[in-house]
Amino acid sequence: MDKLLISGGRSLEGSLRASGAKNSALPILASSILLKDKLIIRNIPHLNDITTMIELLSSMGAEMTVSENMDLEIDSSKLENPLARYELVKTMRASILVLGPLLSRYHEAEVALPGGCAIGSRPVNLHIDCMRQLGAEIDIVDGYIKAKAKNGLSGGNINFSTVTVTGTENAVMAAVLAKGKTVITNAAKEPEVVDLVMCLKEMGAKILGAGSDRIEIEGVDSLQPCDYSVMADRIEIGTYLTAVTMTKGNVVIKCSLPSVLETILEKLKLAGANIEINDEEINLEMDKTPNPVDITTAPFPLFPTDMQAQFIALNSISNGKSKVIENVFENRFMHVQELIRMGGNIKLEGNTAFIEGNTNGLTAAPVMATDLRASASLVLAGLVAKGQTKVDRIYHIDRGYERIEEKLNLLGANIERVSE
């Protein structure tokens, strides 16, 4: 099993190009099911979750072609097996995203209940309920969601009881080929939802309201081929900007989207970072011990839960006290015990972490990643810790960060991937 060995104490300096967003690429890959033709997707990140989704689509009959530039062409014209097997979906919750497209195109689907990071309740009932609102009949049998819509899906009103990104994406994809009009309220506003909608509109879908809490879809008979480039990964960008802030360095990140990073950038400025922005890059420079920063996670456009762990790592080396409130997932503090092993002074009370910054710094220790973003926080902690930190179970980080050790080493880090 691979591990990362991180020798801390080096300042990060240089430039990086942002990878494509995993959380955008996955639903766009799933949307290829809707198309009885070819979809070209550019700027896809090379990640384990992406590989899993590609394998899943291939198992259903889709044909894949990779260009010299690593762009992916998906031909779904021969896709004929609406089954998402457990063996392929057990490691990835995003596999549920094939439910809506399969129902919409084939009027049936059989999708194994998904796996993925154990960071709290992400109930599939939200997906099931919205499919029922569009006319599907659904049963849970032997760990599989078995769904049918004999006469096809029909437009309807979907009101999510809680904001759900993948639920919104599934509902949108189900509705684009449904008969009539669908209205989704309490929809997720995340940029990745907007990116999916932009791709679907390029295919000929009729969708209004993406980026707001009300999305309207007028069903169409069919979709057309398109060529689409996935947006940059705002969480990857935020993670690397936080790493540079912690190591008192400077960086230029290219192909970023400052407009979708505003809450993260504002918090980094409060931590003391100097940030300059233009349309195509973010410049960050840091030359002092970080100030403590209070954060509260919430759906977009507020502070993203996917950056919570990284900011707890930053606050652990700050010059004061801070408070981090997690409002999205109830079990997303599993990295805290590992940071405490490295010298972090953190106390948990319910959904709140109270952190007292350790200005003497952190100390290297063997630590274990428990989920994707938790593993990122441990890498960041290792970058500033005294000694060599060993991060185990890094298959989590490979699900969401493209060649993280290579990118950080380009900035001057000392990280080695080893197999033991």
User: Active-site residue numbers?
Assistant: 117
Cα angle vertex 110, ends 395, 229, to 5°?
55
Of 154, 214, 147, 229, nearest in space to 184 by CA? 214
128 phi/psi in degrees, rounded to 5: -65, -45
Of 231, 288, 257, nearest in space to 268 by CA? 288
Q: How many CB atoms lie within 10 A of CB 327?
A: 15
d(CA 420, CA 53): 28
Q: Which residues are paired to 232 by β-bridges?
A: 20
Which residues fall within 8 angstroms of residue 407, CB to CB, at 6 or more apart?
16, 240
163 phi/psi in degrees, rounded to 5: -65, 130
Is cis: bond before 225, omega within 30 of 0?
no
Taking each helix axis from N to C end, the angle separating 125-133 and 165-175, rounded to the nearest 10 degrees, works out to 30
Q: Are 207 and 200 in contact (CB under 8 A)?
A: yes
Bridging pattern class, strands 83-84 and 108-112? parallel
